[in-house]
Structure 1
Amino acid sequence: MTNLQHPHDKPTLLERLIFNNRPTVIGICLLVSIVLFWQATLVRPSTSFEKMIPLSHPFIQNMMEHRNDLANLGNTVRISVEAKQGDIFSKEYMETLRQINDEVFYISGVDRSGLKSLWSPSVRWTEVTEEGFAGGEVIPQSYDGSQESLDKLRNNVLKSGQVGRLVANNFKSSIIDVPLQEFYPDPADQGKLLPLDYRQFSHQLEEKIRDKYEAQNPNVEIHIVGFAKKVGDLIDGLIMVVMFFGVAFLITLVLLMWFTRCTRSTVAVLSTTLIAVIWQLGLMHVVGFGLDPYSMLVPFLIFAIGISHGVQKINGIALQSSDAENALMAARRTFRQLFLPGMIAILADAVGFITLLIIDIGVIRELAIGASIGVAVIVFTNLILLPVAISYAGISKRAVVRSKEDAVREHPFWRLLSNFAAPKVARVSVVLALLALAGGLWYGHNLKIGDLDQGAPELRPDSRYNQDNNFIISNYSTSSDVLVVMVKTPPEGCSAYQTLSAINELSWKMENTPGVQSAISLVTVSKQVIKGMNEGNLKWESLSRNKDVLNSSISRADGLYNNTCSLAPLLIFLNDHKAETLDRAVHAVQEFAKVNNKQGLEFLLAAGNAGIEAATNEVIKQAELTILILVYICVAVMCMITFRSWAATLCIVLPLVLTSVLGNALMAFMGIGVKVATLPVVALGVGIGVDYGIYIYSRLESFLRAGLPLQEAYYETLKSTGKAVLFTGLCLAIGVCTWIFSAIKFQADMGLMLTFMLLWNMFGALWLLPALARFLIKPEKMAGKVGNSLFSH
């Protein structure tokens, strides 16, 4: 066993280069840390509408191609102003609504040309008189707040067709539709465009609108929904990540002190890991990335991975220090022994992140790149800088004595765990694993793609945003979940009878599809106008075949066709954006389009927030299995290259497969769908989890080659590296499980899933790996042989 702990190989070129130039290594790391710390202080929360959507998906490409023709159907915010007592037809309410409308108009980022409320001149009423059609602005120029003008306003609203849209069905609230610009002119320099700052915009809505006007008028309550508000709330909630990071740091500090019994090594591990986090944040800013609601979790992951490798290094140095001449020799021996398995484990971590690049969603790609940068810097901070730092600081005598005692004394706990490698126990373990795999696969079929809740599932059900969303769903006929079908024709073709008839047929089909509230298009207006032109007779509420009549009837359908009458959107309002609702609606449109698309008439999906959700779900569904397969192929290839043994590869990879299957079953049981927020956990769990197996198997292989029987070799493995693996798994799980208490639901979901996967990967490496080795590894063939593993000396 001695020669295993003190390998007498000649130092490698890399080892000599690093340890012969220790002051230079520390100086370079210090200089880089200063520069990147300055860069890290410049990182700001940032995101954009386009980064959150799959730009290459056909639905999104159709939407982007026709975005200029889809007024108010892209990135919008809806502000509902509610009268707590009475209704909206009061002087005080209408004056408050006017002030809010004017205030919103001047907020930076608002597309002022598309702003719509009862005070907008574009919101008009129409009625049929004996002389023909009459109409005007809902709030006329003569409005003065008197009872007479309020009565006139009530009549105008009833004739405007806005009840259920801009005005609540119970007349107790009304909506201001606020379209947004992704980039807007800089007030100080009109030639310069500024990106929309979602957090700042959300704060302006709170301060300038909600707080200000609810304080001014106690009878008013304001409800705000929309993508920009949701993202702003997410960013605000994720600022709490700093608090969770602090909690995780303190937990890790206490556990490391208990594990190492050495202040110097604890400080060294935490310091080098924090340096890794600083480097990662600094490099993110250098490459032009900010922190969005998803990449804010990356520093946590880098900290977790850094602690994992740091603990292995400290454990190795403590073992070597018992017989080494000095701290430098112990650090060099540990570097020689653990650099390669650490490097392979880090590459496996990186593979998990890199595979996420196949998902064409900006936030996931930035998360993948940011995390890949982070694991790359761990090579320098935890695999190189940490041993160099310890070569100066050393390990406390108490820790060295404890390590020496641990190396020679009997460990009942490790002896008990070593029974996992015993023939009888191994058979039971494999059978239990197969049963768990079968159960996980069976229950995992209940796993859904996409959101499973109403409102914003990224936020808690009792959050202010979701309460506002529930209010709007309950009080308006047009929900906030809109699927837009784009009906494309040649110029001036949108008013043709064949086009309108097809739109009418699709509207009827969609309104009879479960999960659809209502559908609105220029046909809706056309039929109303034709009825009006025929003395309001209900028998005439249908499409005319006379082209002149049709042209006249759609002239009042503002916003429901473009300037050239070549594109007419059909707005389908859904009950919610649950995956099942979206699937039904999209499938119904696709079936209709398949039969009715022809030369000069196309039904294109999809715009609106529900269209974007549907496209995102499709991308996630296609990528989910691909990512999982890619991760496992890459991890298996790296294990094969490292150990040059199919048996070793299977021992390491199969416990990870079990964890993934059980993770899917847990998500199904907890009602967590596979979506942008949870899909990365699949790759991250496998990438981080493989570390345990690599470290354990590399030591197990060394003892087997020394001629020890499998169970005894596993016992020695547990004594040397098992403690570090068990500690790391528990430490990381405790740190990550603090996320479960986050106000942001998707962060809580990720915390739950990562806690489960970290613990199960650790348990799988300690329990299932030796059981599989009992059936796959032939110790007698390995004994006394140098072998062909990269770790063989």
Structure 2
Amino acid sequence: MSNNEKIHGEFTSDEFSRDWIGRTAFAIFHWRFPLLLICIGITVFLGYSARHLEVSAGFTKMIPYNHEYMATLKDYQSVFGGADKILIAVKAREGTILQKDIMKTVKDIAEEVFYIKGVVRSSLKSIYSPEVRYNEIVEDGIKAGTLVAADFTGTPEEMAQVKINILKSDWVGRIVSADMTSTMVIATLGEKDHVTGQRYDLRRIGAELEDIRQKYQNDKVSIHIIGFAKSVSDIAGSANDVGFFFLIAFVLTALLLLWYSGSVMLSAWALVVAIVPVVWLLGILPLVGLGLDPLSILVPFLIFAIGVSHAVQMTNAWKLETLAGCDGVTASRNCFLKLFVPGATALLANALGFMVIAVVDIEIVRELAITSTIGVTVMIITNKVLLPILLSYMRFSASTAQKLGGKETAGKGLWTALAPLASRKGGLIPIAGSIVLTIFGLYHYQFLQIGDQGKGVPELWPKSRYNQDVERITTDFDLGVDLLQVIVEAQGDDAPCVNRSVQDKMEAFEYEMRQQDGVIAVRGLSNFVKSVTQDFAEGWVKWRMLPETVPQIAQGVGFATRLGTEYRNPACNAIPISIYTSDHQAATISRIVAAIKDFKAENDDDEVVFRLASGNVGVMAATNEVVHAADKWVNFTLFASVGLLCLVTFRSFRVTLCIIIPLGIVTLLCNATMAILDIGMKVNTLPVIAIAVGVGVDYGIYLFERVKHEMEDASMTLQEAFKEALVQRGTASTFTAVTMTISVATWTFSTLKFQADMGILLSFMFMVNLFGAVLLMPALAAYIVGDDHYAKKKK
């Protein structure tokens, strides 16, 4: 094709620059109809593929599996059970559990749990279990037996005997509440199906547990269920509300777009190109073997919001071109040439913001990073290629555009009033204000906690059914779900756990742990051996001590075998010490783990090694340590990569500083806000800052690209260039910030507390990032960039 040949009779290749942007633009508009058909075909294909998308969550996806603590969990999971436990409490509404109907209910529930696919059957414990026993000192020695006889039928005499057996045992507060109004069924879940090799579906397990509740809860008993599988199931169930909030956001965005542009078609195209990357993302995920989980299920919502943001910049520029007298194709061409570089750069910054989250060594976070990166990457095609093509088919005249009464040209008075901020004198106020806010942020940042805050599952509201069940179980039982296990490895070939030196160290460790704030109980082999020694001394408390000789210690260890692997492995060279905590708040966990590490540093030797950690609190401790380590790296990598991108785009270290400094202050203020609202830094909230910085840098890139252009090509001063940049793009940036803020602010009404928390934090950062770009960035530029940085020397 010759250079003079028309593109659909509308303009020639001579109207495009010879650089790569011009050649790309010419190719896109020359082939716009085939490209449009290709995009439609891809959307249809990926829309069909999205039907195979699955929403799931596995236990191992949510833990830092490469952390040293998790190595302990993996090494001993098959022996002592994993951290994924289920606790089902059966509570009598009137009287005690020692009623025939209630006892039958407990037995039936235990049998149903036994057959749930995924339950490690040997781990099941209830009042009926053979390993749930009592010991009694009698005239002839020691009498022992199960709490409930195998031939139990529920007669009054048998009920009385069961009560006596319970009181003789050490299961009060563990399996049966002290007032005997509640009893528990406890089980551990396996990691994978041994036949298929697939992870167990926690949502299915949670649903089966809920079916048990619905089947057996009645006017005589209430059923309370807690555990990781149940919490994930409840979170995933509440996550179904995301679709409802997506619909609300779509409707609000559509109304705001119609108000802003005044055109149904412009609003429709903006919504279409915001939805298309969501469809593409959801279709790509099953093709690459990924799905959605309770954390990443919010990503499509964010992709839609970011898509609207960039679409508004394009439609805003297109309408301004038509108001200047351009036809639809020419306006589209001009928009592409003006916005492709800053828009693509901003989207790459978004992608970097998501990609850096992958430094967190937790699978669910890395999948979030991959999912989000795919979403914003495809947006370069949908927003920077598809949208200009769609707009090129619109036929607007300047008079038509004027009649629509949009708000693209609104705010000129405001932007004129803000222009003096780009001067040294005018910039003093925002700079002084930013210093005050930085001091405020630094003060509150010191109170930011790593990990969970409050009781129960923080992803759910305190009044949720799950957290109410947590409250009930922790009230009725001494030993709840919060368990930290330390595995003591004893060296030796023949049952080294019976050596007195090993027992002494374990005894000292158990004693040290009982002194820690937040520890409510400690169970270990040395204390069990001491209790057996007391029993053999006819219960005399003075003999509650460790025996001196190996045979006497072995006698107590032998009794421990009746309890399965609660106190030892078969070789007796690995001994779990169970530490039950009052809660799983970050401060509690860090304090206890610090004490364990101190003891470990002083006592580990060639004979005994204390290994952290198993149990759900052990998993939380590992997660908190990974998040704490990753937090600094995420921020460093994020700002380094975004800074490098700005440096490449603007070829100016000073301009890069002007863009990065406001983002840094906003990040600090977000951390301060989290501390004030008692929102901990953890897996769910760590991505928020990376996402918000990636989105927030858009404002700076769009505005400074115009400043650079006006200073270079129109020889404007910095103040004049900022005023022009704000006139052209300030209104659109403000509109997109308000739109995204309103959209994510609706999350505060979610049944998921962590979604509500993310809504608060993202709303805060979206708006404050705008203020930083519009108010602080020009003030910094006045001192850092100056009038002569880009402006051409006037002849």
1:236 paired to 2:237 = yes
2:157 to 135, 148, 152: 148
Q: Indicate conservation of the 8 Å contact 1:265/1:395, yes or no.
A: no
Deviations for 1:583-642, whole angstroms, at most 9, x for unmatched residues?
111111111111111112100000000111011111111111111111111111111111
How big is the shift at 1:360? 0.5
How big is the shift at 1:415? 1.6
1:549 paired to 2:542 = no
Deviations for 1:731-754, whole angstroms, at most 9, x for unmatched residues?
000001111111111111111000
Aligned partner of 1:38: which letter? Y
Q: Indicate conservation of the 8 Å contact 1:43/1:281, yes or no.
A: yes
Partner of 2:3: none
Output the CA distance in 1 between the equivalents of 2:408 and 2:764.
31
Partner of 1:161: 170
Partner of 1:790: none
Partner of 2:56: 46
1:776 paired to 2:792 = no
SS of 1:727 mapped into structure 2: helix
Taking only aligned residues, the RMSD between alpha carbons, in angstroms, comes to 1.9
- In the superposition, the TM-score normalised over structure 1's length comes to 0.95
2:672 to 665, 676, 683: 665
Deviations for 1:453-487, whole angstroms, at most 9, x for unmatched residues?
11111111111111111111111111211110100
1:62 to 72, 75, 88: 72
Deviations for 1:54-100, whole angstroms, at most 9, x for unmatched residues?
011111111112212213x4211100000111111121211111111
Partner of 2:202: 198
Output the CA distance in 2 between the equivalents of 1:704 and 1:142.
92
Partner of 2:522: 519
Aligned partner of 1:733: which letter? T
- Alpha-carbon spacing, 1:409–1:130, altered in 2? closer, same or farther (3 Å): closer
SS of 1:195 mapped into structure 2: coil
1:265 paired to 2:266 = yes
Partner of 1:789: none
Deviates more, 1:517-526 or 1:394-403: 394-403
Deviations for 1:393-444, whole angstroms, at most 9, x for unmatched residues?
3457666226999899993222222232244321111111111112211221
Partner of 1:496: 499
How big is the shift at 1:36? 0.9
- Alpha-carbon spacing, 1:764–1:402, altered in 2? closer, same or farther (3 Å): farther
Partner of 2:725: 717
How big is the shift at 1:452? 1.5
How many residues end up aligned between the 2 structures?
Answer: 772
Partner of 1:347: 348
Partner of 1:461: 462
Partner of 2:10: none
- Alpha-carbon spacing, 1:772–1:212, altered in 2? closer, same or farther (3 Å): same
Partner of 2:137: 128
Matches within 5 A, 1:180-191: 180-184=189-193, 191=195
Structure 1 unaligned blocks of 5 or more: 1-5, 186-190, 787-793
- Alpha-carbon spacing, 1:550–1:408, altered in 2? closer, same or farther (3 Å): closer
Aligned partner of 2:625: which letter? E
1:727 to 735, 738, 759: 735
Output the CA distance in 1 between the equivalents of 2:510 and 2:411.
77
SS of 2:425 mapped into structure 1: helix
Partner of 1:79: 88
- In the superposition, the TM-score normalised over structure 2's length comes to 0.94
Deviations for 1:756-780, whole angstroms, at most 9, x for unmatched residues?
0000111111111111111122324
Deviations for 1:369-410, whole angstroms, at most 9, x for unmatched residues?
000000111011111101111111345766622699989999
Output the CA distance in 1 between the equivalents of 2:15 and 2:421.
28
1:173 to 173, 182, 200: 182
How big is the shift at 1:323? 4.0
How big is the shift at 1:160? 2.6
Deviates more, 1:300-309 or 1:104-113: 104-113
1:677 to 684, 691, 709: 684
SS of 1:784 mapped into structure 2: coil
- Alpha-carbon spacing, 1:779–1:91, altered in 2? closer, same or farther (3 Å): same
1:539 to 539, 542, 555: 542
Output the CA distance in 2 between the equivalents of 1:722 and 1:350.
23
How big is the shift at 1:231? 0.5
Q: Indicate conservation of the 8 Å contact 2:324/2:398, yes or no.
A: no
1:470 paired to 2:500 = no
Q: Indicate conservation of the 8 Å contact 1:261/1:398, yes or no.
A: no
Output the CA distance in 1 between the equivalents of 2:395 and 2:549.
93
Output the CA distance in 1 between the equivalents of 2:63 and 2:400.
52
- Alpha-carbon spacing, 1:260–1:508, altered in 2? closer, same or farther (3 Å): same
Deviates more, 1:434-443 or 1:756-765: 434-443
SS of 1:418 mapped into structure 2: helix
Q: Indicate conservation of the 8 Å contact 2:261/2:406, yes or no.
A: no
How big is the shift at 1:713? 2.1
Partner of 1:621: 628
How big is the shift at 1:709? 2.6
Deviates more, 1:416-425 or 1:274-283: 416-425
How big is the shift at 1:49? 0.6
Partner of 1:24: 34
Partner of 1:701: 708
- Alpha-carbon spacing, 1:410–1:682, altered in 2? closer, same or farther (3 Å): closer
Instruction: Report sequence identity in percent.
Output: 37
Output the CA distance in 1 between the equivalents of 2:282 and 2:567.
46
- Alpha-carbon spacing, 1:409–1:761, altered in 2? closer, same or farther (3 Å): closer
Deviates more, 1:9-18 or 1:55-64: 9-18
1:638 paired to 2:679 = no
Deviates more, 1:455-464 or 1:708-717: 708-717
How big is the shift at 1:123? 1.7
1:608 to 603, 607, 615: 615
Deviates more, 1:136-145 or 1:223-232: 136-145
SS of 1:393 mapped into structure 2: coil
- Alpha-carbon spacing, 1:408–1:304, altered in 2? closer, same or farther (3 Å): closer
- Alpha-carbon spacing, 1:395–1:64, altered in 2? closer, same or farther (3 Å): farther
Output the CA distance in 2 between the equivalents of 1:551 and 1:406.
85
Aligned partner of 2:683: which letter? V
How big is the shift at 1:325? 4.6
Output the CA distance in 2 between the equivalents of 1:103 and 1:785.
84
Aligned partner of 2:717: which letter? P
Aligned partner of 2:97: which letter? I
Partner of 1:596: 603
How big is the shift at 1:504? 1.1
Deviations for 1:250-296, whole angstroms, at most 9, x for unmatched residues?
11101111111111111111111111001111111211112111101
Q: Indicate conservation of the 8 Å contact 2:533/2:543, yes or no.
A: yes
SS of 1:782 mapped into structure 2: coil
1:507 paired to 2:510 = yes
Partner of 1:222: 223
Aligned partner of 2:509: which letter? L
Output the CA distance in 2 between the equivalents of 1:335 and 1:411.
24
1:586 paired to 2:587 = no
Deviates more, 1:117-126 or 1:584-593: 117-126
1:251 paired to 2:259 = no
Q: Indicate conservation of the 8 Å contact 1:69/1:567, yes or no.
A: no
Deviations for 1:166-202, whole angstroms, at most 9, x for unmatched residues?
11121110110021122236xxxxx434432122221
Q: Indicate conservation of the 8 Å contact 1:319/1:404, yes or no.
A: no
Partner of 1:743: 751
Structure 2 unaligned blocks of 5 or more: 1-13
Aligned partner of 1:202: which letter? G
How big is the shift at 1:495? 2.2
Aligned partner of 1:752: which letter? I
Deviates more, 1:774-783 or 1:40-49: 774-783
- Alpha-carbon spacing, 1:251–1:461, altered in 2? closer, same or farther (3 Å): same
Deviations for 1:284-336, whole angstroms, at most 9, x for unmatched residues?
12111121111011111111111111111111111222345521111111111
How big is the shift at 1:692? 0.5
Deviates more, 1:454-463 or 1:398-407: 398-407
Deviates more, 1:435-444 or 1:666-675: 435-444
Q: Indicate conservation of the 8 Å contact 2:502/2:607, yes or no.
A: no
Q: Indicate conservation of the 8 Å contact 1:98/1:119, yes or no.
A: yes
Output the CA distance in 2 between the equivalents of 1:455 and 1:446.
21
Partner of 1:3: none
SS of 2:290 mapped into structure 1: coil
- Alpha-carbon spacing, 1:592–1:337, altered in 2? closer, same or farther (3 Å): same
